[in-house]
Amino acid sequence: MVEVLVSVVIGYLLGSVPVAVLTARAHGVDPRDVGDRNPGYWNVKEQLGRWAGVPVFAGDTLKGALAALVALVIGGGHTAAFGVVSGASVAPVYLAVAAAMAGHAWPLFAGFRGGRCVLTFAGGVAVICPPAFGLAVAALALVALATRSFAAGARLAVFGVPLLQLLFMPAELVAATGGLMCLIGLRFGQAALAGRRRSSHR
């Protein structure tokens, strides 16, 4: 329980680092007040350009990966073939990633106004199941090249993660990954409701 608690606290604090807000403010903009008001990579890229989005993409992904790596160490570093998290490390790692995603969504250091945690999820998956992450990135690249749409490739990669995990992990852990994805769905739903409210007040 101590390992789990420490992993969750560290994960939440890492997730709470508002990379998009800090990056955009360096350019004189608060991403929560412009565009789709999401403090994440896509909104920063749309408002400030591709190069401004790079540190946000890297930082938000790193938050999930670091949370998972710290929890993996705290949980004893148990892995199976291909570096897949296993045994006593599973609970700390999954809960740390969930906490990092919650921190990104409701950040302690940014007034609890955060983003949709897709990249933080991706960073966590890179540690939870490295081969599934690698295959998802390959799928993203192929679809993006074929359709000339990074967004289409990213959607396929994210939704394809659980299916790819089935090749390397038991179904109950794939279900846990589905639980993490529910948080992404919740954040998209909240953003859609907020957008409707803003439209109704105009």
State the pLDDT confidence band at 195, using cuts at 50, 70 and 90: confident
Amino acid at 166: L
Domain total in the chain: 1
pLDDT in tens, 67-81: 999 999 999 999 999
pTM comes to 0.93
| Backbone CA torsion sign across 62, 93, 75, 85 | negative
Give the pLDDT band (50/70/90) at residue 201.
low
pLDDT of residue 202: 63
Please report whether residue 202 resides in a domain.
no
CA distance 76 to 57: 29
Say which amino acid occupies 147. Answer: T
Task: Tell me the C-alpha distance between 38 and 31, whole Å.
Answer: 6
Residue 169 has pLDDT above 80, yes or no: yes
pLDDT for 166 equals 95
Residue-range definition of the domain harbouring residue 22 = 2-197
**Predicted confidence (pLDDT) per residue in 11-59, tens digit:** 999 999 999 999 999 999 999 999 888 999 999 999 999 899 999 999 9
Confidence of residue 176 (pLDDT cuts 50, 70, 90): very high
The confidence score (pLDDT) of residue 131 equals 97
Residues 36/47, Cβ–Cβ less than 8 Å: no
